[in-house]
Structure 1
Amino acid sequence: MTSGFYYEVIDLSRIHWKPIKLSPQQTLALGFAVIIVLGSFLLWMPAASVEGSSLSYIDALFMATSATCVTGLILVDTATHFTHFGQIVLLVMVQLGGLGFMTMTTWFAIVVRKRISLRERLVLKESLNQISIEGIVRLIKNVVVYSLVVESIAACIFAIRWSFEMPLGKAIYYGVFHAVSLFNNAGFELVGGYRNLTPYVDDFVINTVSMILVILGGIGFIVMSELIDYPKTRQLSLHSKIVLSVSGFLVVFGALVIFIFEFSNTHTLGPLPVFDKILAAFFQSVSTRSSGTNTVDITSLRQATQFFMILLMFIGAAPGSTGGGIKVTTFAILIGAMITMIRRKEDVVLFRYRLAQEYTHRALTVTFLSLLLIFIVTMLLLATHDYSFLMILFETTSAFGTVGLSMGLTPHLTFTGKIVIILMMYAGRLGPVTLSYALQPKNKKELYHYPEGKITIG
């Protein structure tokens, strides 16, 4: 009788390996996660920080998430903590995060004349919030060209302006960095000292160019493409009409409210001449939509102004843009649905177009999931941080809307707080609906319907 170990040789060639099929939403979620992780390791390297001030990995992960999700919340001063290498890593992540990694990947595929598959077109559709895949490759070409042209023009103007106060090489570097950051609504800056753009509150050139960049990046590439083609086509889609009208209203209304609330505040608009007050009010109104830059001290604003800015950050920019929030189209549909209900009508009508109920359901879902996320994160931060409710709500909404404005809480976040805000920025960039689709298993078609019921509402 013998004893011993027995083993069986498995022929791996006979095993049928099934490739993992990811949905478009899962591909987007995974792609952004990969960029964040890679970027975090680069920022963690000693070469990314000035000598003797390397980041811990959690801080590097936070900064990488903030850049890739084009948020702009910072734990350390971008201008003084990072070397040129670290700043360039941040800028590359901002560009990839703003335009979307699939946009950049597709652009390179087009350059080398690689065929774009149907699956890739579906992911692009999800990335740019398009209704269909028709014309998606043409839109990608336009997106990259428009972005590079706008950023280049703005970089030249910034460089000329800053050449009056610094060497030409540094001015060009500043111009490129801020043009890319502002167009992608990221909010990273090189002024230093956590001052953001407050030293330029009365600078007409920097304020105007910055606002134009933020607005162009915030209205979305679909709208930008239609505006460029408008002289030939003489028509705009319903989407573009809603985005332009609602965005314009929110910018003007926001500036008016900020101007009124802060007119006599000696720490913000009070000491400024009337024209500079108007300029600063418009800048803050535009910035709260998603850019994260400011020319007045956010912590010195009145509480009414800070709460109003939370509302603007929650609404955010347009679909398919570099901004976050629930989006202006969602806000428009909600207002339209409310008016329809009050008037006892059946259809939501915008610009003489009737909207299918699917849009109202999606708008309600996006808004409810967004509010739920903000409530949960706010409660978690309140439980782990000894700061005011308004400060924590402001920071949470800023992270969700990928805005980047801060009342000063971010540098004081605990380890738990950093993790929570990282997840919030990630969810805000992907969108709550896209993220929920990515996390759930494959949807199966229902083979039956329940009987209809009736309840009382209101």
Structure 2
Amino acid sequence: MTRGKPAWRPKKKRQSVSIGRIMAFTFLGIILLGTLLLTLPVLSRNGQGASVMTALFTATSATCVTGLVLADTWSQWSNFGQVVILMMIEVGGLGFMSAASLAYFSLRRKISIQQQLVMAEAIGSNMNDVVEHQKRLLIRAFTVEGVGAVILTARFLTEYSFPLALKLGIFHSVSAFCNAGFDVLGFIKPGASLIVYQTDPVICLTLSALVILGGLGFLVWDELLRERSPKKWSVYTKLVMITTGTLLLAGTVLFCLIEWRNPSTLGPLSVPKKILAAFFQSMTLRTAGFAGVDQGMLTSAGKAVSIFMMLIGGSSGSTAGGLKTVTFVVLLLFLWNRMRGRHTVSVFSRTISDDHVLNAITIFMLMVLLAFAGATLICATSQVGFADSLFETVSAIGTVGLTAGATPRLSTVSKCMIIVFMYFGRVGLLTLSFGFLKKKPSGEKYKYANTDLLIG
């Protein structure tokens, strides 16, 4: 008798796709595609094609909206190459799901529940009306970028022809709103970034407005437009607005105090221009990456403040990177309450859960450990001091893009590490925030006996 195959077999349970994995691999795919394109001779200004390292470094920096580069964007890349870089900045800044959803909207295709879930996590929203929320996000983002482009084009038109002014306006508006820090002003002075316009109020204030709006987060936008009274704002929106304003003001005051007489930064400027340059420096450290002053000529105290500000970054669900403003506030509230002997953390008559506090501590410790380990590696493999090395690693992890002059001096090993740091700063922290930090805790089969330790 032959054994027949069973007529029915139970189907294996289909594993749910990790949203964090989707995010990580999609960003990686964009980076690899960008690298391949940037190695083409037609995308280089000299027509010879860039090296794989230069292309990979640039593609990672653009997609992760960082701004660190091995070669000046204007000098290295042709007009076509700059368009490719701008597209990677837009996709990386608004999120790849924004670009994907835009394609779906254009083709009028139905978005599945799984795709809606990924979109919700990508923009920091919930499942309620995520498609409509995504549409509003894209419309508002493009509107803000368009207004910024018009203002900047009008300003550049006083110096350049209309085609060049339009190009400068669009490129810098998108780069600023996405907190990317890329510029195409190398035809004036290669590598100088916005230093050539550090005293121009129209350019500096327009770019600052775009950076701040991009760094607030799309959920905050929705609430600010929906609820005009601050009393009706959620605790999260209140914390974002207060922290953003405080950091901008504190940074401006600190840089005025520290760099006021520095002949290589604020020293030669008049009082109003010193305040403008200090404000721009405070703003750009929030992951924008435009250099308003020579970062390598900052005093030691100025670099220390810059590293601290870069570490904080912008707000969750925004185009900015870094630790995030509310995460920073949670850490401060935790320290303040522990020093007062309290075991709970509260703000605005609301208690912050222990899970949120532990998540904030986890992300902070991870960023700090990586920054110091990376700085040590740079010191060991490149001719760069520790302060400038730490400046470089924090800038990469925070997706800021400022450098104190270390980038051109990095060894191949250090360049590879910075590439990984930029990727982690944009993708790793994003997936971490709703990856293992949001997983349901696995049941503990046993628990060890308590022990007493001396702390402090």
Normalized against structure 2, the TM-score is what?
A: 0.92
Alignment match of 1:353 (pick from 350, 354, 358): 350
| SS across alignment from 2:395 | helix
User: CA contact under 8 A between 2:382 and 2:409: conserved in structure 1?
Assistant: no
Q: Distance in 1 between matches of 2:206 and 2:350?
A: 35
Aligned residue number for residue 143 of structure 2: 149
Residue in 1 that maps onto 2:67: 72
| 2:124 is the alignment partner of 1:124 | no
Specify the SS of the correspondent of 2:49.
coil
Q: Which runs of 5+ in 1 are unaligned?
A: 1-13
SS at match of 2:109: coil
Q: Confirm or deny that 1:162 pairs with 2:156.
A: yes
1:304 aligns with 2:301: yes
Residue 344 of structure 1: how far off its partner (Å): 1.6
The correspondence of residues 247-326 of structure 1 with structure 2, limited to 5 A, is: 247-326=244-323
Shift of the 283–452 alpha-carbon distance from structure 1 to 2, 3 Å rule, reads: farther
Deviation at 1:445, TM superposition (A): 3.0
Q: Which residue of 2 aligns with 1:36?
A: 31
Give the secondary structure class of the aligned counterpart of 2:346.
Answer: strand
Q: Which moved more, 1:279-288 or 1:370-379?
A: 370-379
> Could you list the per-position Cα deviations for residues 241-295 of structure 1 after superposition, in whole angstroms to 9, with x for gaps in the alignment?
1111011101100110001001111111111111111110000000001000022
Following superposition, the deviation at residue 448 of structure 1 comes to 2.9
Q: Secondary structure at the match of 1:197?
A: helix
Residues 82-101 of structure 1 mapped to structure 2, 5 A cutoff: 82-101=77-96
Matches within 5 A, 1:198-277: 198-231=195-228, 235-277=232-274
Identify which of 354, 370, 373 aligns with 2:370: 373
Evaluate the alpha carbon distance shift between residue 346 and residue 121 of structure 1 in structure 2; reply closer, same or farther with a 3 A threshold.
same
Change (3 A) 1:437 1:452: farther
Structure 2 unmatched ranges of 5 or more: 1-8
**Over residues 368-404 of structure 1, what are the superposed CA-to-partner deviations in whole Å (9 max), with x where a residue is unaligned?**
1111221222222122112100111000000000000
In the alignment of these two chains, the number of paired residues is: 442
Alignment of 1:12-27 (within 5 A): 22-27=17-22
The alignment status of 1:50 with 2:45, answered yes or no, reads yes
Contact 1:125 1:136 in 2 (8 A): yes
Question: How far has the Cα of 1:435 moved from its partner?
Answer: 4.8
Distance 1:265 1:373 in 2: 31
User: 2-side partners of 1:69 and 1:56: how far apart?
Assistant: 20
The separation in 1 between residues aligned to 2:128 and 2:244, in whole angstroms, is: 26
| Matching residue of 1:363 | 360
CA distance 1:19–1:89, shift in 2 (3 Å): farther
Does the CA contact (< 8 Å) of 1:65 and 1:422 recur in 2?
Answer: yes
**Can you list the C-alpha shifts for 1:50-89, whole angstroms capped at 9, x where unaligned?**
1254211121011000000000001111012110110000
- Residue in 2 aligned with 1:10? none
Q: Is contact 1:25-1:126 (8 Å) kept?
A: no
CA distance in 2, matches of 1:57, 1:436: 31
Secondary structure of 1:198's counterpart equals: helix
User: Residue 107 of structure 1: CA displacement?
Assistant: 2.7
Q: Shift in Å at residue 128 of structure 1? A: 2.2
Aligned to 2:180: 186
1-structure distance, mates of 2:369, 2:34 = 29
Match of 1:426 in 2: 423
Percentage identity across aligned positions?
38
Q: Distance in 1 between matches of 2:168 and 2:235?
A: 38
RMSD: 2.3
Please state how far the C-alpha of 1:453 moved relative to its aligned partner.
Answer: 2.1
Q: Which moved more, 1:91-100 or 1:21-30?
A: 21-30
CA contact (8 A) 1:427 1:435 kept: no
Pairing 1:413–2:410 present: yes
Do the aligned partners of 2:240 and 2:315 also contact (CA within 8 Å) in 1? yes
Instruction: Label 1:95 to 1:362 Cα distance change in 2 as closer, same or farther (>3 A).
Output: same
**For residues 20 and 46 of structure 1, what CA distance do their matches in structure 2 show?**
43
What is the rounded CA distance, in whole Å, between the counterparts of 1:342 and 1:409 in structure 2?
39
* Residue pair 1:314, 1:397 contacting (<8 A) in 2 also: yes
The offset of 1:125, in angstroms, is: 2.9
Name the residue aligned to 1:135: 129
1:408 to partner: Cα distance = 1.3
The amino acid that maps onto 1:47 is V
| TM-score normalised by the chain length of structure 1 | 0.92
Change (3 A) 1:452 1:175: farther
- Other-structure match for 1:337: 334
Aligned partners of 1:126, 1:453: CA distance in 2, in Å? 38
Superposition misfits of 4+ residues, deviation over 6 angstroms: 16-20, 436-440
1:310–1:378 CA distance, 2 compared to 1 (3 A): same
